[in-house]
Amino acid sequence: MAATSSSSKGSIPSGYNKCSERGQILKHMADHIKNSGSNLESRALYMQAALKFLHVASVFESCHKEIGRYGDMIN
């Protein structure tokens, strides 16, 4: 995933933006299913959404660590 997308939060590979969007969709689906009364199914969707968000967060953190190292090399 070499392509990057710039945002106010920094640059992360664009594929991870899609992953984050998918996490949001899963969370909204889980909310809807929970409101319909199916707690077990909604928990599974919440877990899937949480894993997607954690994955994106770990990539975002590693990108910022690399940027920090690059800045240290310049100075």
Q: What is the pLDDT of residues 3-52, one digit of tens each?
A: 444 444 455 566 778 888 899 999 999 999 999 999 999 999 999 999 99
3-state class (DSSP) for residue 63: helix
pTM of the model: 0.63
Per-residue confidence (pLDDT) for residue 15, from 0 to 100? 73
Q: In Å, what is the CA distance from 28 to each residue of 17, 19, 70? A: 17, 14, 38
Provide the pLDDT for residue 7. 45
pLDDT of residue 59: 85
pLDDT of 72 higher than 70: no
The reported pLDDT for the residue numbered 19 is: 84
Gap between the terminal Cα atoms of the chain = 29
